[in-house]
Chains A and B, each alone.
Chain A
């Protein structure tokens, strides 16, 4: 009796797995070359707005300490 419950439980599990795999197998995919060039393009387009990448002058970055001014 309990083994039947176990197998019905694992059947439910197996059915779920099959359903899930069917779903995943059927999605639309694009080529890696296209996906990569899209990633590259995004990086290129946004690079100039990326402070950590480009480095912004210390005076504009609130985290960087400003150089002390000397009064001559």
Chain B
């Protein structure tokens, strides 16, 4: 009954104010009749291939023009401008806490806004909520599938969302009552095609952004955490959420910027040489960093519409799984498949530190909301907080 209710809310919300978005589809193509070929058909076929060729030429011309426009404004490199900035000193960062409890690879983690709780998900099918100061486990939920690839903490701290190979995003309300069966209270948002690779809440508990593996689309769904859901509440929520309308997505080698209101991809960057695994906004929102299997992290400025920095070294040959900025945006942390964390000076483009500790790939990395620490999850089954 509850599931049915949720579905109908989705339908209502969809038609009224918020479309789940994909690339816009074009007006329906002419339908061709199933009759024997006549000379007219042959002409149509020729016309079609001419149109195709014409479109391809236009597309190539546009690509050239795009590069030209971008190049015109490329008057200097970021690290050149940053030469006058003071260099950073030595950094001493180390593991402060190790969170043990997962039975298999940790795939994803997220911080709660209270700056001390963490949610993590693992290949063992478990989603655990930890108190990062004390390392105590506060909640543990077993998902019906293994490979829980994505998890996120709701802004209120009252719920977590997670999903993976089960092709859907489930939202679990967190309660203080340890005896309560969390699994019974979950709400699901079904996805149908492809497994969930990333999810995050917008500024509200009511909406999650979801990304599917390898798909060039970005979707947003209403979570409907509460049993009784008034439509007026729904409208209030959407007005609030509209301020949080931009979304980053890494899809294969491309990094895309989506405007959730129109469902359009407004900017696209393809400079990585291999799949992108992670994208994170720079704190001001004017830029973002990406980490890729090509062993580099890159910084893209949204207003200059181009890549402005590459963070790489010849000695680093393993892919980056996860990136995040420190609070001021001066430091970029990257979790790598060679078990290390590299810390980069964002402005100068140099590496300031390399951190060891994990015994297998670092799969996920997030800086805490107040910037006092960052947490990493690894295939070695543990999470570590560093400061």
Taking Cβ atoms with an 8 Å cutoff, the residues of A that contact B are 1, 3-5, 7-12, 14-25, 27, 29-40, 42-47, 49-53, 55-56, 61-65
B97 near A42 (CB under 8 angstroms)? no
Chain A binding surface, main DSSP class: helix
Per the bound structure, the CA–CA distance linking A45 and B328 in Å amounts to 8
Q: Is B219 located at the chain interface by the 8 A CB criterion?
A: no
A21 near B93 (CB under 8 angstroms)? no
**Across-interface contacts of A3 in B (CB, < 8 A):** 45
Q: Is B284 located at the chain interface by the 8 A CB criterion?
A: yes
Per the bound structure, the CA–CA distance linking A9 and B265 in Å amounts to 21
Choice from B49, B82, B329 contacting A46 with Cβ under 8 Å:
B329
B385 near A35 (CB under 8 angstroms)? no
- Map CB proximity to A onto B269-287 as digits: 1 under 8 Å, 0 otherwise: 0000000000000111011
Choice from B59, B132, B133, B371 contacting A51 with Cβ under 8 Å:
B371
Q: Is B215 located at the chain interface by the 8 A CB criterion?
A: no
A35 near B308 (CB under 8 angstroms)? yes
**Across-interface contacts of A36 in B (CB, < 8 A):** 76-78, 81-82, 301, 308
Per the bound structure, the CA–CA distance linking A66 and B58 in Å amounts to 65
Q: Is B48 located at the chain interface by the 8 A CB criterion?
A: yes
A32 near B55 (CB under 8 angstroms)? no
B264 near A23 (CB under 8 angstroms)? yes
Per the bound structure, the CA–CA distance linking A50 and B372 in Å amounts to 8
Which residue of chain A has its CB nearest to the CB of B54? Answer: A14
B305 near A52 (CB under 8 angstroms)? no
**Across-interface contacts of A33 in B (CB, < 8 A):** 75-76, 81
Taking Cβ atoms with an 8 Å cutoff, the residues of B that contact A are 23-24, 26, 29-30, 32, 34, 41, 44-45, 48-49, 51-52, 55-56, 58-59, 62-63, 65-66, 69-70, 73-78, 81-82, 85, 88, 92-93, 96-97, 116, 132-133, 264-268, 282-284, 286-287, 301, 303-306, 308, 326-331, 346-347, 367, 370-374, 385, 387
B286 near A38 (CB under 8 angstroms)? yes
B62 near A25 (CB under 8 angstroms)? yes
Per the bound structure, the CA–CA distance linking A65 and B96 in Å amounts to 8
**Across-interface contacts of B305 in A (CB, < 8 A):** 27, 29
Which of B59, B75, B267, B347 has the most chain A CB atoms closer than 10 A to its own CB? B59
Per the bound structure, the CA–CA distance linking A36 and B368 in Å amounts to 26
Between A and B, 24 residue pairs with Cβ closer than 8 Å are A1-B32, A4-B41, A14-B56, A18-B59, A20-B265, A21-B66, A29-B305, A31-B304, A33-B76, A36-B78, A39-B78, A39-B284, A43-B330, A46-B283, A47-B328, A49-B327, A51-B327, A51-B372, A52-B326, A52-B372, A53-B326, A55-B92, A61-B387, A63-B385
B74 near A39 (CB under 8 angstroms)? no
Which residue of chain A has its CB nearest to the CB of B115? Answer: A62
B69 near A29 (CB under 8 angstroms)? yes
A24 near B66 (CB under 8 angstroms)? yes
| B75 → A minimal CB distance (Å) | 5
A7 near B73 (CB under 8 angstroms)? no
Per the bound structure, the CA–CA distance linking A10 and B52 in Å amounts to 8
Which residue of chain B has its CB nearest to the CB of A56? Answer: B372
B65 near A25 (CB under 8 angstroms)? yes
B373 near A49 (CB under 8 angstroms)? no
B267 near A27 (CB under 8 angstroms)? yes
